[in-house]
Amino acid sequence: MAFSLPPLPYAINALAANGMCQETLELHHGKHHNAYVTALNGLIESKGLAGKSLETIVAGAANDAPLLNQAGQHWNHILFWQVMSPNGGGDKLPAKLAAKIDADFGGLAQFKEAFKQAGVTQFGSGWAWLIMKADGKLAVTKTPNGASPVSTGEGTPILGADVWEHAYYLDFRNVRPNYLDNFLNKLVAWDVVESLMEKGGLVSGQGA
Ligand code: MN3
């Protein structure tokens, strides 16, 4: 089954009041993400990927940069759209997620600072992540370009912030720290993050 661009889980202008304008979503979802899907579909036959799930492909792509670029970015963006909401942000987290963040980071403020720092210090393009490690602990990490904790095997992502310039240049120009503050304070769908934690991560439904 060919890979496809999933629709956004909200209207194209739904995040505008939260710091992500319609034009950003038109370009980011409709052009950038769509281009990864198209390129990935172009690789399916030559790479022998027919019938494999997107997760399987990403997990096996660490040493195949051209494949990781397209498959990784397809998976990363599917997660990214889902972990934002017009009702997102705020400091009132669902109880189980709040307790876990308190236990593993010492509090929400400490988690936010660690996540922001991961995004700010990712040199060039990439992603900041909140992951669940094999021992069950939450941790923050970052990856370059199309890589993710799925491709590195570091853990299960339950929150990801795109720090490619195309994610924030229209809304925040060159000021990545402000984009990350806004993401954490106005966009993150904490209920979705908790649900991903509870069910052990995203299943994209793509590919297989
Ligand atoms: Mn992007």
Q: What is the pLDDT of residues 25-53, one digit of tens each?
A: 999 999 999 999 999 999 998 999 999 99
Instruction: Give the Å distance between the CA of 37 and the centre of ligand 1.
Output: 12
Instruction: Give the Å distance between the CA of 22 and the centre of ligand 1.
Output: 15
User: Percent of the chain scored above 70 by pLDDT?
Assistant: 100
38-77 burial by CB neighbour count: b if 16+ within 10 A, else e? ebbeebbeebebeebbbbebbbebeeeeebbbbbbbbbbb
pLDDT bracket for residue 208 (50, 70, 90): confident
Residue 1: the pLDDT is 65
Instruction: Give the Å distance between the CA of 164 and the centre of ligand 1.
Output: 6
Calculate the CA dihedral of residues 20, 157, 6, 82 and round it to 10 degrees: -40
Q: Which residues contact 88 (CB under 8 A, 6 or more apart)?
A: 18, 186, 187, 188, 189, 190
Any bridge partners for residue 157, and if so which? 131
Question: 165-203, pLDDT tens digit by residue?
Answer: 999 999 999 999 999 999 999 999 999 999 999 999 999
What residues have a C-beta under 5 A from ligand 1, the ion?
162, 164
Instruction: Give the Å distance between the CA of 151 and the centre of ligand 1.
Output: 17
Instruction: Give the Å distance between the CA of 110 and the centre of ligand 1.
Output: 26
DSSP letter, residue 138: E
Instruction: Give the Å distance between the CA of 40 and the centre of ligand 1.
Output: 15
H helical segments located in 106-163: 108-121, 149-152
Instruction: Give the Å distance between the CA of 157 and the centre of ligand 1.
Output: 16
Q: How many CA atoms lie within 13 A of 75 on its CB side?
A: 29
DSSP letter, residue 106: S
Question: Quick one: average pLDDT of 59-71?
Answer: 97
Structural domains for the chain: 21-201 (3.55.40.20)
Instruction: Give the Å distance between the CA of 181 and the centre of ligand 1.
Output: 17
Provide the mean pLDDT of the chain: 97
